[in-house]
């Protein structure tokens, strides 16, 4: 019957569950729970694999793999609460700010991975790639369709805002996309630049201000101040590479950020 109902996960677990039930180590209720649980976990795994293929996530990263003790400026409760994904239901955004290597991409991907595990559609892109794909669509006369496709995922990760400058026309396209997603679906943005520098990144102060206004309207800000995890074995070198090296303590307190 399990085969007929196309429940391969439960079918695979059936022998084991039945023998445990027969031997009395599982009650009838526990046996049903375990049988259906096996099917659900198979389904969730398949969903994750399918979502991973279409999401363009560069890797699977999870919160479990993140060493919070290395990054004391991160409020653990804030990340735990984001990991429950209520922000997706509420169509809120998340902005991860901080210097290179502090785990912005890791945490953004962990949120996307968790969302994919819950069957939500997710999509990952760096800002540079996102803008290129929008510009290509515009040149091909398919911008409207591309904007619609990119407004659909429940979670869009826009990584690396600030490393590469974006052309002003590219920034307009990004602004259009964020306008479509505003109050409609969540976006997770990461940047090594504070908001005051986004005007420079996007080549237009007025548009950057309007973008930030929308992004911050329903938003969680994770401001990470700390050392690069990539450079953790070279902390002396890392310190000399920091522009304001002599003023920094190894793990300074995060500066105040506006909360919304």
Ligand X SMILES: Nc1ncnc2c1ncn2[C@@H]1O[C@H](COP(=O)(O)OP(=O)(O)O)[C@@H](O)[C@H]1O
Q: Which residue ranges make up the site for ligand X (CB under 6 A)?
A: 61, 65-67, 70-71, 98, 100-106, 229-230
Closer to ligand X by CB, 71 or 113: give it.
Answer: 71
Q: How far is the CB of 60 from ligand X (least distance, A)?
A: 11
What residue 70 binds from ligand X, Mg ion, none (CB within 5 to 8 A, per partner kind)?
A: ligand X
Judged by beta carbon, residue 39 or residue 192, the one nearer ligand X is 192
Using an 8 Å Cβ cutoff, are 104 and 96 in contact? yes
Q: Half-sphere exposure (CA, 13 Å, Cβ side) for 247?
A: 3
Whichever of 105 and 227 has its CB closer to Mg ion, that residue is 105
Q: What share of the chain is helix, strand, coil (3-state, %, to 5)?
A: 55, 10, 35
63 makes contact, choosing from ligand X, Mg ion, none, with CB < 5 to 8 Å by partner type, with none
One residue of 39, 55, 71, 105 binding Mg ion per CB under 5 A: 105
Name residue, tokens 């690396």. 160
Report in angstroms how near the CB of residue 101 gets to ligand X at its nearest: 5
Q: What is the separation of C-alpha 138 from the centre of its chain, rounded to a whole number of angstroms?
A: 26
Binding partner at 153 among Mg ion, ligand X, none, C-beta below 5 to 8 Å by kind: none
Distance set, CA 44 to CA 86, 120, 214, 225 (Å): 19, 11, 33, 35
100-131 b/e (C-beta count within 10 Å ≥ 16 → b)? ebbbbbbbbbbbbbbbbbeebebbbbbbbebb
Q: Do the beta carbons of residue 159 and residue 129 sit within 8 Å?
A: no
Tokens standing for residue 139: 């040149």
CB of 163 to Mg ion, least distance (A): 8
Least gap, CB of 47 to Mg ion (angstroms) = 26
Report the residue number, 186 or 191, with the smaller CB distance to ligand X. Answer: 191
User: Residue 226's binding partner, choosing from ligand X, Mg ion, none, with beta-carbon cut-off 5 to 8 A by kind?
Assistant: none
Rg (CA), the chain: 22
User: CB 101 → Mg ion: shortest distance, Å?
Assistant: 8
Smallest separation, CB 188 to ligand X (Å) = 12
Nearer Cβ to ligand X (46/230): 230
Q: Residues in the site for Mg ion, rule: CB under 5 A?
A: 105
């Amino acid at each position: 019957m399990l085969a007929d109902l196309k429940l391969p996960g439960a079918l695979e677990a059936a022998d084991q569950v039945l023998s445990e039930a027969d031997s009395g180590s599982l009650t009838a209720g526990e046996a049903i729970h375990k049988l259906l649980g096996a099917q659900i976990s198979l389904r969730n795994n398949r969903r994750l694999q399918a979502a991973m293929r279409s999401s363009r996530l560069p890797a699977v990263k999870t919160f479990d793999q993140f060493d919070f003790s290395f990054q004391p400026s991160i409020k653990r409760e804030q990340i735990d609460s984001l990991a429950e994904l209520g922000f997706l239901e509420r169509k809120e955004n998340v902005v991860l700010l901080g210097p290179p290597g502090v785990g912005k991409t890791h945490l953004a991907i962990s949120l996307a991975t968790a969302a994919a595990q819950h069957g939500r559609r997710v999509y990952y892109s760096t800002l540079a790639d996102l803008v290129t794909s929008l510009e290509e669509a515009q040149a091909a006369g398919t911008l409207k369709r591309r904007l619609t496709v990119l407004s659909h995922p429940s979670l869009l990760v826009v990584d690396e805002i600030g490393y590469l400058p974006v052309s002003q026309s590219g920034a307009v396209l990004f602004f259009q996309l964020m306008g479509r997603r505003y109050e409609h679906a969540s976006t997770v943005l990461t940047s090594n630049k504070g908001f005051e520098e986004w005007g420079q990144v996007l080549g237009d102060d007025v548009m950057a201000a309007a973008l930030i206004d929308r992004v911050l309207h329903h938003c969680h800000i994770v401001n990470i101040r700390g050392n690069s995890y990539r450079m953790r074995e070279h902390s002396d070198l890392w310190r000399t590479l920091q522009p304001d090296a002599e003023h920094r303590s190894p793990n300074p307190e995060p500066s105040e950020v506006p909360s919304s």
